[in-house]
Amino acid sequence: MQSQTPLPDFIASLFDMIPGVSGDSQLVFIVSALIAGTIVGSLMLTQTALVIWAKRKITAAFTDRIAINRVGPAGLLIIPADALRLLSKELIVPEGVDRPAWDLAPLVLASSALLGFAVIPMGSLLGIDFQVADPETGLAYVFATASIASIGLVMAGYASNNKYSFLGGLRAVAQNLAYEIPLILTGMSVVLFAGTLQTSEIVAAQSETLFSLGAVAIPSWYAFVNPFAFVLFLVANLAEVGRNPFDIPEAPTEIVAGYQTEYSSVYFVLMYLGEFIHIFLGGAIIATIFLGGPAGPVLPGLVWFLIKIWGVFLFTQWARSAVPRVRIDQLIEIGWKGMLVLSFANLLLTAVIVGVIV
């Protein structure tokens, strides 16, 4: 394995080549970190743009339809067409909205999810390691930033001056509270195994071989080590990102579109982006702590990483096609009475196992 250069360092080394600029200066450090962040952010935004096309194709496959096939090859040009369409729409600001909050909400939503990607190890491509930062508190940071989205939802719901938005906002808070705790607790069981919060270390801990099936070595991904925690996390993650069967903050057939009812044009695009980046962040967390991060044979790490987060996205769409939405009270009940208890059990069990074995 060749040595990997972290992305910011690689950019800093490029600056180094410019005569008269020292790669060690604080300014270069900050600028290269910013550039690295932009690159990673753009990468994820590209994925969400792809979602515009992929989501329709996937849904169509589940429902026996053809879906977009006329705009460009396989309908791919629908992406620029849709972007143009959405952006060129009129931004309708309803009477009586709570202005700064209403404007900020989409920004908060979209950015909170993007922030999380800073510490996700996305694997390497051409010797460059796509990870902006690798702090020791990596996992805690990811969960913290992802949770900021709840504030965005409440802001959107409360500021819209619309009863459906209001109900949607309330639902969003109730749901996020109920599912964040099991989510983090389940994540912590992995931390117990790995003994660290640092994302790169968690990934590294999964690179060992769990057992060999003939010539195929099964790596010790935590999804294989602790499948129970994996399933718990997968379900809690569905609720956290608000997808079926837990899409009740939006619930089109009940409260029209929930917190995003009143948003149009650019703000809607931001909401939409935020939602899908959030799904990808969920996928990235799952990939990092359960699926060995960017690990995989043959292909470069970054490609494997993208395959994994798309796999999780596919799963959310699959669940959407077949699982009915639960009711709000049932959702809360499942969260507090089911998931929470199970995740505590999982945590204790993991603690015992780790304590006995190690």
103-111, 141-149, 263-271, 322-330 -> range binding other proteins (CB under 8 A): 322-330
Give the one residue of 78, 270, 328, 347 binding other proteins; rule: CB under 8 A. 328
Whether residue 333 contacts residue 226, with contact meaning beta carbons closer than 8 Å, is answered with: no
Give the one residue of 327, 338, 351, 352 binding other proteins; rule: CB under 8 A. 327
- Using the minimum distance from each CB to other proteins, give the nearer residue, 2 or 63: 63
* Minimum distance, C-beta of residue 69 to other proteins, in the bound complex (Å): 8
* Minimum distance, C-beta of residue 257 to other proteins, in the bound complex (Å): 9
Q: Does 251 bind other proteins (CB under 8 A)?
A: yes
Measured in whole angstroms, how far is the alpha carbon of residue 101 from the centre of its chain?
Answer: 24
Residues of this chain, 179-238, that bind other proteins according to CB under 8 A? none
Q: Does 63 bind other proteins (CB under 8 A)?
A: yes
Distance between CA atoms of 61 and 48, rounded to whole angstroms? Answer: 19
| CA-based nearest residue to 40, from 3, 68, 8 | 8
| CA-based nearest residue to 8, from 135, 145, 196 | 135
Distance between CA atoms of 6 and 12, rounded to whole angstroms? Answer: 10
Give the one residue of 326, 345, 349, 353 binding other proteins; rule: CB under 8 A. 326
Residues of this chain, 108-137, that bind other proteins according to CB under 8 A? none
| CA-based nearest residue to 183, from 108, 109, 289, 280 | 289
List CB contacts of 288: < 8 A, sequence separation 6 or more: 120, 121, 199, 202, 203
| CA-based nearest residue to 6, from 122, 160, 149, 88 | 122
Q: Does 69 bind other proteins (CB under 8 A)?
A: yes
143-151, 254-262, 279-287, 299-307 -> range binding other proteins (CB under 8 A): 254-262
Q: Does 93 bind other proteins (CB under 8 A)?
A: no
Give the one residue of 15, 228, 318, 344 binding other proteins; rule: CB under 8 A. 318
| CA-based nearest residue to 256, from 132, 167, 139, 324 | 167
Q: Does 42 bind other proteins (CB under 8 A)?
A: no
Q: Does 262 bind other proteins (CB under 8 A)?
A: no
Measured in whole angstroms, how far is the alpha carbon of residue 124 from the centre of its chain?
Answer: 19
Size of the site for other proteins (CB under 8 A): 37
Q: Pattern 149-168, binding to other proteins, x per CB under 8 A?
A: ------------x-xx--x-
Tokens of 182: 């099991």
Distance between CA atoms of 211 and 214, rounded to whole angstroms? Answer: 9
Give the one residue of 61, 104, 140, 266 binding other proteins; rule: CB under 8 A. 61
Binding site for other proteins (CB under 8 A): 58, 60-66, 69, 96, 161, 163-164, 167, 244-245, 247-248, 251-256, 318-330
